[in-house]
Amino acid sequence: MIRIGVDLGGTKIEAIALDAAGHELARRRIASPAHDYAQTIDALRTLVERLEGELGGGRARVGVGTPGAISSLTGCIKNANSTQLNGRPLAHDLARALGREVRVENDANCFALSEASDGAGAGRRLVFGVILGTGVGGGIVQDGRLWIGPNAIAGEWGHNEMPSRSEAALPDTQCYCGRRRCIETFLSGPALAADHRRSVASASASLDAAAIVALAHGGDVQARATMARFYERLAAALAGVINVLDPDVVVFGGGLSNIDRLCDEVRARLSAHVFSDAVTTEVVANRHGDSSGVRGAAWLWPP
Ligand SMILES: [Zn+2]
């Protein structure tokens, strides 16, 4: 059985074909049609049919990872930053275009599923996959299956409030979702850069997250202080998830998961926040990197 996973991003659409064992057979990438829903459906159909043609013309099972989530009320996409998708019955329209059932799932959930299936969380019963990128999201996989939840928001810890117990003066941030002090406004890449800006003179104002990480690595005192705050906040925020879910493993993805010391720094700080005599939760980086989204979309059809 061939499975095709499609990652529907804001700037590109990527598709991958996997065999039953999870080996990559083929891959294609195209630019996303800008802000046009009908063209997006058309591009997805063309991409899938081209991959099928390349692989001998058989019909594959198709899964799609998308920003946002599928509303259990309407069956339409909600919460997507690619706003042309919001309010659209994406799974239904793709099924009609391709003449078969198409599974559609949130992209952070696809990441978690990929890493739980044959990535850094393989073989563990409960996997919490964490995206630390331009946003902060997550997904929960139990015994190889995604947990979605009745609101389709399982794992969305990024819009919980940032714990403030260990900080007397937590900055009063504003989130795009309308709430204050969301975890995402402290732990995303742009949030890390904003936190550094708040703490240093304006000369360094334009540094992005990668530059701050590099400066800290080189011994810059202010950048090191920014990173220490980041690690501490990440550990405190993750403890809220661990106390409720107690996953076997936390797998980091997204751009900030490339920070060399991330897992060690978080592991060292967890015991101060988690309600347990010892914290044995594994904290690991992803195995499939940028490919996890597209691989997880294919894994929406387990062999
Ligand atoms: Zn928020």
Residue 177 Cα to ligand 1 middle (Å): 4
Short-list 113, 114, 117, 120, CA closest to 251: 120
For residue 188, how far is its CA from the centre of ligand 1 (angstroms)?
11
* Residue-level pLDDT at 188: 96
CA of 122 to the centre of ligand 1 (A): 30
Give the distance (Å) from ligand 1 centre to CA of residue 180.
7
Write out the two tokens for 226. 């920014």
Q: What is the mean pLDDT of residues 129-133?
A: 96
pLDDT digits over 136-157, tens only? 999 999 999 999 999 999 999 9
CA 159 – ligand 1 centroid, Å: 4
pTM for this model (two decimals):
0.94
Given pLDDT bands bounded at 50, 70 and 90, which one contains residue 79?
confident
- Which residues surround the ion ligand 1 when the cut-off is CB under 5 Å? 159, 175, 177, 179, 182
* CA 140 – ligand 1 centroid, Å: 19
Whether residue 204 is predicted with pLDDT greater than 60 in this model: the reply is no
Mean pLDDT over 291-300 rounds to 96
Ligand 1 centre and the CA of 183: distance in Å?
7
Q: Is 212 exposed, middle or buried (0-12, 13-18, 19+ CB in 10 A)?
A: buried
The per-residue pLDDT for 218 is: 96
Q: Rounded to whole angstroms, how far apart are CA atoms 227 and 225?
A: 5
Residues of the chain with pLDDT > 90: what percent? 86
- Give residue-wise pLDDT tens across range 151-185: 999 999 999 999 998 888 999 999 988 999 999 99
Distance from the alpha carbon of residue 156 to the mean position of ligand 1, in angstroms: 10
From ligand 1's centre to the CA of 90, what distance in Å? Answer: 24
**Strand 3-8 and strand 61-66: pairing?**
parallel
Dump pLDDT digits (tens) for 264-281. Answer: 999 999 999 999 999 999
Q: 137: phi > 0 → left, psi -120 to 50 → alpha, else beta; which? A: beta
Distance 243 CA to ligand 1 centre (A): 21
Kindly report which listed range (13-22, 177-186, 203-212, 237-246) carries the lowest average pLDDT score.
203-212
State the DSSP code for 63. Answer: E
